[in-house]
Structure 1
Amino acid sequence: MGWRRCPAFSVSASSFHYDQRKEFSSSEHKKLYFDTHALVRLLEENGFTTQQSEIIVSALVKIINSNMEVVYKDMVTKMQQEISLQQIMSHIASVKKDMIILEKSEFSALRTENEKIKIELQQLKKQLHDEIVKLRADNKLGFNLEKSRVKEMYAENERRLLEIRSEIVELHAQQDRGLTQTNRKIDTEVAGLRTMLESHKLDTIKYLAGSVFTCLTIALGFYRLWI
């Protein structure tokens, strides 16, 4: 029997009768109930023959089964969902427990490391404080030694200056004494020379006077002889 085109029609929910239902499924646990007899009668009422209606319904059943297979591939049952949920919750609890243990161990390790760093910082701070105290003591000692050395140098310079001043004063005194002695000696020698000159002058005068008297005596003698 050939196919013939049927006019447009609308289907309402009241036109279906579920006295005869055909079961189709994608698996043993997934079943879909479909009233094929009501659909065949609906097609016959709209101009299709019984054979055409059965072929159309059979094709629809195959198409629906194929689509349901595709849909059911991504679907799970409530029991499987609960099992998966329990597995996920168990895994989450295990991960949470591991995270808590890891967090505690990491926190303990971190606290131990912090305590170690704190102790090292305290030791470093103490060493730094000791070095600063030692450096200050060394600087203070060096400053005091340098101050003492400067004072000693100043005292030594003052002593040397006093000695030089004393030597200069002594030298001046010696020079003054030498000059005084020289002046006295010169004065004494000058006085002696003056005395000697006076004596020689007196002797010369005496000699000249004697010579004059002698000459006069001789002259008088010659004069008397001539007269």
Structure 2
Amino acid sequence: MFLTRAGLRLRPFAFGTAGPTSYIRNNHTHFDSLKFVTQLQENGFSKEQSEAAVNVFSKAINDGIDLYASNLITKEVLSRQSYQQKVDFAKLKGELQLIDRSEFNNIRTQHEKLRNDLEKVKQRLKEEVNKSLSSVRLDLNLERGRIREESSIHDLKIKETDTRIDQEIANMKVQIDSTKTQVLQWLIGVCTGTFALVLAYVRLLS
């Protein structure tokens, strides 16, 4: 920084190839420092005080430009950031789609597994029901066989009882017939004896 007839030269500032202010668009920025020093001297400042004030003012301007420029970015940086954001967004979109497909595949896999488990449970239940029905049928058949055997035994006992009763009846008939024969024989003997006695009595009377 120095005093010339053209003025006090500020430190040049340039940031990239584009910027929002004229300070950034130009490679060099000047203001008439000699005129500013003269005005200060006319207002009662000495030459040293005027130059010191110009130096302080110039430093403040440069610091303000540096602070303002530190918060700015160039088109190239903005383009890179925009491109990076697009890349990140595309990557995020791809990851979300991958997650969606993965979740869908997981849900479909779980659905298939659940359906297979239900089919297995259904098949197992069917087998258990068939096994139970087979066991019940076997028990029923065994019970029917046992009932038939008991019925056959009862029928045999009934037949034996009927046969025994028939035999007893036949024996009783034989005994009755034998008794009848004996009674008839006894009656015939009695009648014959009585008739002989009557004949003998008649002969005695005659």
TM-score, normalised relative to structure 1:
0.52
CA RMSD between the two structures: 2.3
2:114 corresponds in structure 1 to 127
2:163 corresponds in structure 1 to 176
Residue 115 of structure 1 and its aligned partner are, at CA, apart by 1.2
187, 192, 209: which is aligned to 2:174? 187
**What amino acid maps onto 1:117 in structure 2?**
F
Q: Deviation per CA, 1:111-153: give whole Å up to 9, x if none.
A: 0111112222222222222221111111101100100100110
2:27 corresponds in structure 1 to none
Consecutive aligned runs of 4 or more in structure 1 exceeding 6 Å deviation? 89-95
127, 132, 144: which is aligned to 1:157? 144
Alpha-carbon separation, structure 2, partners of 1:142 and 1:192: 72
Q: How many residues align?
A: 132
132, 150, 156: which is aligned to 1:145? 132
**What amino acid maps onto 2:136 in structure 1?**
R
Alpha-carbon separation, structure 1, partners of 2:130 and 2:101: 42
1:109 corresponds in structure 2 to 96
Question: 1:32-47 residue pairs with structure 2 within 5 A?
Answer: none
Alpha-carbon separation, structure 1, partners of 2:84 and 2:192: 155
Alpha-carbon separation, structure 2, partners of 1:132 and 1:216: 122
Any gaps of 5 or more consecutive residues in structure 2?
1-74
Does residue 105 of structure 2 align to residue 118 of structure 1?
A: yes
Question: 1:185-224 residue pairs with structure 2 within 5 A?
Answer: 185-218=172-205, 220=206
Residue 159 of structure 1 and its aligned partner are, at CA, apart by 1.0
Alpha-carbon separation, structure 2, partners of 1:159 and 1:100: 86
Alpha-carbon separation, structure 2, partners of 1:194 and 1:107: 126
Residue 92 of structure 1 and its aligned partner are, at CA, apart by 8.7
Query: Percent identity at matched positions?
Result: 8
Question: 1:6-155 residue pairs with structure 2 within 5 A?
Answer: 97-155=84-142
Residue 93 of structure 1 and its aligned partner are, at CA, apart by 7.6
TM-score, normalised relative to structure 2:
0.57
1:47 corresponds in structure 2 to none
Q: Deviation per CA, 1:173-224: give whole Å up to 9, x if none.
A: 1001100011101111210121111111111111111112212221x2xxxx
The structure having more radius of gyration, on CA atoms, is: 1
Residue 154 of structure 1 and its aligned partner are, at CA, apart by 0.7
Alpha-carbon separation, structure 2, partners of 1:110 and 1:94: 24
Higher RCO (CA-CA < 8 Å; seq separation 6+): 2
